[in-house]
Chain A
Amino acid sequence: MGRAIRKDTIAGYLFLLPNFLGFLGFVALPVVFSLFLAFSHWDLLSGAAGIRWAGLENFRLLVGDPWFLSSLINNLIYSFFTVAFSLIIGLLMALLLNRHVFAKSALRTMFFIPYVVSMVAISAIWMAILSRFGPVSELARTLGVENPPIWLMDPTFAMPAIISLGVWNHAGYCMLIYLAALQGVPRELYEAAEVDGGGAWAKFVSVTVPMISPATFLLVITQMINSFKVFAPVQILTQGGPGRSTTVLVYYIYRTAYQNYRMGYASAMAWVLFAMIFIITLLQWQGQRRWVNY
């Protein structure tokens, strides 16, 4: 290695150093620490001296914890429906915008806005929309439903309400990614399909869907990971209720750590959550060979 090159290398690493130090201090060490905590009991307030080794006890307790089990199930339901509907609606919006429509860029901005608005503001809006005398209930009354449920306080409808909010929040982002993907589909393919006598549906199924499958794959993975982290709407709108119907993992982890000061148990849950996301992502990575075309 020449002198100049070595000097450049050192300079390069030095430029990386501040970022790396930040990463080390605020991400890497806490992650390692939380892994250690997952095998300990710690109430935070007694400081480092109060950490007691617990072995696998936290994980054993998890198995019989009704809150953990129902938040796990709720999380799976939330993730599945939020991701599915975000993608479908995002794709429909992208298909609409990909044609020559009136006020295209205005519409695109409108669809995208929910994604950049703060979750707290979104939650406040949805609370008003879904309240007893809000527009959704009024619409239901106009349609002949005499006593529409109080959506956010109904064990059947609270989770669908949180899911709708998640979809509304993320569909715009999916739309944007899909729009880019759609514009990358070569026109010749459509023309060839037309020559072969394919109708609109056949073109969509045989050309569009396979051609944008890399975008779908990207979205499924990122949206799935995102959806497992759902917290703010639950904290603001339902506090996990009514009953346990909207208690999700991150909400339960938060409650365990910062309200009950059980850092070890909360860390154990966080690592289980991580393992789950990791496994799901791995499975998707395996599965992609069958349906993603590059």
Chain B
Amino acid sequence: MKRSIVLLIALLIAAMPAWSAGRQEAPAAAPEGPITLRVWGGVPEENGPADVIAAFEAANPNIRVVYTRYVNDDQGRLRMDTALIAGGQVDVFFTYRTDILARHAQAGNALSLDALAAADGFNMQEAFGDLSFATFNNGVYAIPTNKGPQFFMVNKDMFDAAGIPVPASWTYQDYRRIARQLSSGSGQNRVYGVMYPNWPQLFLLGAQAALGPNSFLRPDGTSNFTHPLFREFIELRRAMQYDDRSEVPYVEVVSQNLADATEFLTGRVAMIYTGTWRVRNITDPAAPHNFKTAFVPLFTMQPNQQRLYNEGSLGDWAMIAQDTRVPEAAWRFIRYWATEGSDPMVAKGGKIPAWTAYPVERVTEAMLGPNAAQLFDVASFERVVLQPELFSYQPNNPLAVSIYNDVRTVVKEEVELLLTGRQNLDRTVTAIDTRTNDLIRRAR
């Protein structure tokens, strides 16, 4: 009996290389007959993908698409990653963060799209704009199917009541003053000027938005957190939470798990920092409210700030698996999804196509719904959400990408100590700077 167990283990171990061998195979010639395309994405099938796929199959009768939905969180991504590295199970996959996109491209899981696009006579830069986040070793590895800027959603009626015009652009001084003017009441009935989600990177928001991608690193690859803008912005958020009491305190947001949509719709905050995904909460018939929502871009931190980088980016990146046997069909599919096939993703998924040629009014109509005029300041939506060329500050150099998660945790930990009164601003900034340099040293 013992010997047979040993034999069994030996067999299992022998089978392991076969599991990993799949990925090394060179893409074979496309098989004859109908092609099956296996697509993995994070959007539930009924929110658009099913319709895109049906239309695509109708136009390409020899291709059948099988869509697998993975939940876009740590566990869901692990499932997708496992299928991907096991080999032979994925032809097309979507990623939703630029750092994960970078990891896949650098790990050799994705196919460079340049040859496929060229053979198709398709100019990716012209169609989507800045693809630097998808470019590695001079190859483009993904095309974006969504544009996801972030901005402030503001309660226009509260602005009107206070006699403040909704700004088209503003400085951080304007922002601080207006947030204070819009705050009132006390205790549980306090109405706050502004609320942020609890994401740690938002304590760097103003600074990164002014300085651009990788700005927490100096060109020589050391920490740049001694730059005065980081300090100024962290202090701005602390002061507004505790001195002005015009921002919902971060400790409340975390400890009560406050939802910005609820606070905003019930009139307890005048502005929320958010992104396109929140629009559907405003149009939701289950959340009736009697004010108009307007859109304002982030404020500037410097007097002559040239550009306002965005925490959001082009996104919902479509990639082709490195070991696909049907690269041409996969390319045809992602091109269709990202361009002329995107209507269902707009109508049902609330996506804004990254495709520059997509008609803006169709997005407005689909996203803001039939009551747009009552619920929204439509002009500000088109100005802030749809029109701008989107420059993201998401990190895109390999060192910055590899430590960004840990940097965010460091920022979270040190800022929490600042906000709970355990350390002052100087120590907070110094600690973030020192610990970031430690992370860099350990990453090497």
B165-189: which residues lie under 8 A (CB-CB) from chain A? 188
Q: Which residue of B lies closest to A235 (CB)?
A: B74
A residues within 8 A CB of B75?
Answer: 258
Tell me the complex Cα distance, A154–B256, Å: 13
Q: Give bound CA distance, A254 to B414, whole Å.
A: 21
- Is the pair B252, A127 in contact by a Cβ cutoff of 8 Å? no
User: Contact between A47 and B12 (Cβ–Cβ < 8 Å)?
Assistant: no
A132 to B109, CA, bound (A): 47
- Complex: A61 Cα to B438 Cα, angstroms: 12
Whether A255 touches B255, Cβ cut-off 8 Å, given contacts A13-B1, A43-B103, A44-B81, is no
User: A43 and B107: CB pair below 8 A?
Assistant: yes
Main secondary structure of the interface of B (DSSP, over half): helix
Which of chain A's residues have a CB closer than 8 A to the CB of B12? Answer: 24-25, 29
Pull 20 A–B residue pairs with CB atoms less than 8 Å apart, ordered by A.
Answer: A24-B12, A29-B12, A46-B107, A46-B109, A47-B109, A48-B85, A49-B24, A150-B251, A150-B252, A154-B420, A155-B420, A241-B254, A241-B413, A242-B413, A242-B420, A254-B74, A258-B74, A258-B78, A259-B74, A261-B103
Tell me whether A168 is interfacial, beta carbon within 8 Å.
Answer: no
Cβ of B137 within 8 Å of any chain A Cβ, yes or no, is: no
Query: How far, in whole Å, are A127 and B253 apart by their CA atoms in the complex?
Result: 12
B104 within 8 A of A: yes
Nearest-neighbor residue (CB-CB) of A259 within chain B: B405
Interface string of A97-111 (1 = CB under 8 A from B): 000000000000000
**How far, in angstroms, from A65 to B442 measured CA to CA in the complex?**
9
Tell me which residues across on chain A come within 8 A of B103, comparing CB atoms. Answer: 43, 45, 261
By a CB distance below 8 angstroms, the chain B residues around A152 are: 254-255
Q: Is the CB of A47 within 8 A of B23?
A: yes
Query: In the assembly, what is the distance between CA of A152 and CA of B84, in Å?
Result: 39
Given the complex of chains A and B, what is the CA–CA distance between A45 and B19 in angstroms?
15
Contact at A255–B252, with CB atoms within 8 Å? no
State the CA gap A277–B228 with chains docked (Å). 46
Q: Which residues of chain A from 210 to 253 have any CB-CB distance to chain B below 8 Å in the complex?
A: 238-244
Closest beta carbon of chain B to A164's beta carbon, Å: 15
Shortest B394–chain A CB gap in Å is: 16
Q: Is B65 an interface residue (CB 8 A)?
A: no
The smallest beta-carbon distance between B133 and chain A, in angstroms, is 17
Given the complex, which residues of B lie within 8 Å of A43, measured CB to CB? 103, 107
Q: Which of B403-444 contact A (CB under 8 A)?
A: 405-406, 409, 412-414, 416-417, 419-420, 422, 435, 438, 442
Is A96 in contact with chain B by the CB < 8 A criterion?
A: no
User: Measuring CB to CB, which residues of chain A are less than 8 angstroms from any residue of chain B?
Assistant: 9, 13, 24-25, 29, 43-50, 61, 64-66, 127, 130-133, 150-155, 238-244, 254-255, 258-261
Q: What chain A residues lie within 8 Å of B438 (beta carbons)?
A: 66
Instruction: Indicate whether A45 sits within 8 Å of B252 (C-beta atoms), given known contacts A153-B420, A242-B420, A258-B74.
Output: no
B422 in contact with A155 (CB, 8 Å) = yes
Alpha-carbon distance A43/B255, docked complex (angstroms)? 33
CB of B373 within 8 Å of the partner chain:
no
A66 vs B431: C-alpha distance when bound (angstroms) = 12
Residues of B within 8 A of A150 (CB): 251-252, 255
**Cα distance A47–B103 in the bound complex, in angstroms:** 12
- In the complex formed, the residue of B with least CB distance to A261 is B103
Query: When chains A and B are docked, how far (Å) is the Cα of A64 from the Cα of B252?
Result: 33
Tell me which residues across on chain B come within 8 A of A130, comparing CB atoms.
255
Shortest Cβ distance from residue B12 to the other chain A in the assembled complex, whole angstroms: 7
Determine which of B104, B252, B255, B416 lies in contact with A243 in the assembled complex, contact meaning CB atoms within 8 Å: B416
Minimal Cβ-Cβ distance residue in A for B19: A48
Q: A47-B85, A49-B23 are in contact. Are A153 and B255 (CB under 8 A)?
A: yes
Asked if residues A155 and B107 are in contact (CB atoms below 8 Å), the reply is no
Q: Which residues of A contact B107 (CB under 8 A)?
A: 43, 45-47, 50
**B87 within 8 Å of A by Cβ?**
yes
Fill in one digit per residue for B20-31: 1 if any A CB lies within 8 Å of its CB, else 0.
100110000000
**A29: which B residues are within 8 A, CB to CB?**
12
B87 & A47 in contact (Cβ 8 Å cutoff): yes
Q: Apart from A153-B420, A258-B77, what 9 extra A-B contacts exist at CB < 8 Å?
A: A43-B107, A45-B84, A47-B85, A48-B19, A49-B23, A150-B255, A153-B251, A239-B254, A239-B412
List chain A residues, Cβ under 8 A from B409.
240, 255
The minimal Cβ–Cβ distance linking A137 to chain B, given in whole angstroms, is 10
**A131 touching B256 by the CB < 8 A rule?**
yes
Contact present for B85 and A24 (CB under 8 Å): no
Give the chain B neighbours of A154 by CB distance below 8 A: 420
List CB contacts (< 8 Å) of B248-268 with chain A.
251-252, 254-257
Q: A50 contacts which chain B residues (CB < 8 A)?
A: 107
Is the Cβ of A132 less than 8 Å from the Cβ of B256? yes
Which residue in chain B gives the minimum CB-CB distance to A131? B256
**Cβ distance A256 to chain B, nearest Cβ, rounded Å:** 9
Residue in A47, A130, A260 with the greatest tally of chain B CB atoms within 10 Å = A47
B287 interface hit (Cβ, 8 Å): no
Contacting residue for A244 out of B24, B255, B257, B413, CB 8 A? B413
| Given known A-B contacts A45-B107, A153-B416, A127 and B405 have beta carbons under 8 A apart | no
**Which residue in A45, A133, A155, A241 is a CB contact (below 8 Å) of B85?**
A45
B379 part of interface (Cβ distance < 8 Å)? no
- Inter-subunit contact A46/B74 (CB<8 Å): no
